[in-house]
Amino acid sequence: MSALDLATVARLAEHLEDCELHARDTVKITDGHPGLTLDDAYRVQEEIRRRKVERGARVVGLKAGLTSHAKMKQMNVTSPVFGFLADAFAVPDGGEVKVAELIHPKVEPEIAFVTRAPLRGPGCHVASVLAATDFVVAGLELIDSRYRDFKFDLPSVVADNCSSSRFAVGGRMGRPGDLDLRTLGVVLEKNGETVALAAGAAVLGHPAAAVAALANHLGARGQEIPAGTLILSGGVTEAIPVKPGDHVAVHVQHLGAVSLRFV
Ligand code: OOG
Ligand code: MG
């Protein structure tokens, strides 16, 4: 069901993308459009993606979000969301992020998948994802909701491309056949101190379930996850705020570490 006309979708997309590009926060878009459906929200997100691609950006990955209980509880929502990663979001492992370009950044540890075969729902499950996975690596996502005080509802966060802002991957490649992704330990360190920790199963019982959910979400729209796609499966722990001077590292058992510096 769709309530928004094309002009409104375009206007909301432009507004949210402007907030992203100029590090300005905004009120939730559902404040002005209380009836906004999830379908409408994905149309706004799709329009942000189209605008970026039109200006020459490349989509370099996909993401699932709000896939762990810790994240759902922190953000007060109850179901996963899906977004895209543009080339401008990618930061090299060990790289520097300028906090002045952001609104109120937070970081979260993630398990990142890279596929070697396409995945098309409906009906994708953990085993289909593992069969289609080339390797997994340690991921560090920086989220920066465009909404004031990081407060949103499900349609608003979906329209805002799920708070996507920056990400890094690093460490070494792990083959899914050699690892139990449920018991994989994940430690988030800030300035050398452990600030959050969990195991892979914190993400929907198995992080591959988040990738399956993404494939099923796309399948319902006649789309698929192409071979060779990088996918962030969602914050394993709650997200942690960062400020200039901070150094953040994610350690994933068997997969090494990925880090970022904030200036
Ligand atoms: C929404 C984005 C969530 C994740 O991994 O859960 C996300 C948010 O919490 O702002 O990327
Ligand atoms: Mg995330």
pLDDT digits (tens, 9 = 90+) for 17-76: 999 999 999 999 999 999 999 999 999 999 999 999 999 999 999 999 999 989 988 888
Task: Classify strands 133-143 and 106-115 as parallel, antiparallel or unpaired.
Answer: antiparallel
CB 234 near ligand 1, within 6 Å = yes
- From the alpha carbon of 83, which atom of ligand 1 is closest? 11
Residue 1 lies in a domain: no
HSE value, Cβ hemisphere, 13 Å, CA-based, for 249: 12
Q: Closest-lying ligand to the alpha carbon of 236? A: 1
Rg of the chain taking only CA atoms, in angstroms: 17
Q: What is the CATH number of the domain that holds 243?
A: 3.90.850.10
Structural domain contains residue 163: yes
d(CA 17, CA 54): 13
Tokens of 110: 């993630």
In a domain, 229, yes or no: yes
Structure tokens at 113: 């998948």
Per DSSP bridges, beta strands 230-232 and 96-97 are unpaired
Q: Considering its fold, how many domains does the chain have in total?
A: 1
Coil vs helix vs strand at 78: coil
Quote the CA–CA distance of 187 and 203 in Å, as a whole number: 14
**Bond before 122 cis per omega within 30 degrees:** yes
223 within domain boundaries = yes
pTM recorded for the entire structure? 0.97
Task: Say if ligand 1 is within 6 A of residue 176 CB.
Answer: no
Residue 230 lies in a domain: yes
> What is the atom index within ligand 1 of the atom nearest the CA of 71?
6
pLDDT tens for 82-132 read 999 999 999 999 999 999 999 999 999 999 999 999 999 999 999 999 999
CA-CA distance, 111 to 236, in Å (whole number)? 8
The whole domain housing 254 covers: 6-262
- Tell me how far apart the alpha carbons of residues 26 and 16 are, in angstroms, rounded to a whole number: 8
